[in-house]
Structure 1
Amino acid sequence: MSEQPAALVLNLECTVASPPEATFRLLTDPARLAEWWGPHGFSIPQVDVNLVAGGRYRFRMAPPEGEPFHLSGEFLEIDPPWRLVYTFAWEEPAPDDRETVVDLSLASTGTGTRVALSQGPFLTKERLALHRDGWNESFEKLVLAARGTG
């Protein structure tokens, strides 16, 4: 019997200086999402969110150079202000892309909120690394957006 390779799942955390309720709004309100979503240099000119279980979202992302592209998914679980689970798919995927599930859990730290992210499974280590880099930069921007929202 052969051993199955471990699932390629991304796990990251960041802590922001806003309470869980304000942090959850940053994660779900279209205007607030556009402030922090995406790697440095990217803009989010369009955010559509239907924040109900089974509802969909769609983001238009514009890189510093090149054509805009889209990502979308479906909300699977919404438990304000503690948990948000949704699918994630590029609308014009690369051959090694596949739909993943993003699970965001929030916990009060007393002075802010710890945001724990799990996303996967990915098809390749390269796709996991691409998302890790994107989420790390997005989380840097989220920390800045959370200042003053408490």
Structure 2
Amino acid sequence: MNPFTPTPPTAEELLITRTLKAPRPVVFRAFAEREQLEAWWGPKGFPLEVRHFDFRPGGRFHYGMHMPDGSIMWGKFDYLEIDEPQKIGFINSFSDEAGGTTRAPFEGIWPLEMLNEFTLAEAGDNQTLLTLRVKALNASPEEQATFNEGVADMREGFNGTIDSLVELLEKATTTR
């Protein structure tokens, strides 16, 4: 079974949709080019350090977010599906500095892996409808419960990250 088969949202996933004021190929490049992804991924005020970037199915994006206290929180995407310019699917995990999968560094027993799917649809007049679905992958009942309880916080975090993408796209479209 393809984990990206379109389905209606469930209580056990995060679903976000946003209309972005940029053409779909421009939005796709913001995911596909290292410098662009580095400029917008993650919370504001947490500069990103990219250790590895290989944007292809089977490739990996390994990064560290520099925290205000000087520590680094590591994460990675293991890309599963890339269908230019409409879909990017990956497994997102926290990691150590070497890229090994680790537990989330905050309260609760979070799933080790989360399936992320970004779809980009043309929305007319040089706009793109971005849809994000996040699901716990291979989660125990305790991990799924922590994920479900954290959906509101994840929504806030992802919306902040998407806000940074919007800012990057505004700069890109005004400098053309």
Output the TM-score relative to the length of structure 1: 0.87
Letter paired with 1:115 = L
Secondary structure class of the residue paired with 2:150? helix
Of the three residues 78, 83, 108, the one matched with 1:79 is 83
Secondary structure class of the residue paired with 1:149? helix
Q: 1:43·1:61 contact (CA, 8 Å) conserved in 2?
A: yes
What displacement does 1:64 show?
A: 2.5
What displacement does 1:7 show?
A: 5.2
Structural RMSD (CA): 1.8
Gaps of 5+ in 2: 1-9, 96-101, 137-142
Bigger relative contact order, structure 1 or 2 (CA pairs below 8 A, ≥6 apart): 1
Partner residue in 2 for 1:3: none
Letter paired with 2:12 = L
Q: 1:40·1:138 contact (CA, 8 Å) conserved in 2?
A: yes
Partner residue in 2 for 1:108: 122
Q: What does the per-residue CA deviation read over 1:19-75, in whole Å, with 9 as the maximum and x for residues that have no partner?
A: 111100101211001111111211112252211211122111112234011111311
Partner residue in 2 for 1:46: 50
Gaps of 5+ in 1: 1-5
Q: What does the per-residue CA deviation read over 1:70-115, in whole Å, with 9 as the maximum and x for residues that have no partner?
A: 1113111100110000000011313512201000000111231111
Deviates more, 1:35-44 or 1:92-101: 92-101
Output the TM-score relative to the length of structure 2: 0.75
- Work out whether 1:37 is the aligned partner of 2:2: no
- Work out whether 1:120 is the aligned partner of 2:135: yes
Count of aligned positions:
145
Letter paired with 2:42 = G
Deviates more, 1:90-99 or 1:136-145: 90-99
Letter paired with 1:142 = L
Percentage of pairs with the same residue? 27
Letter paired with 1:16 = L
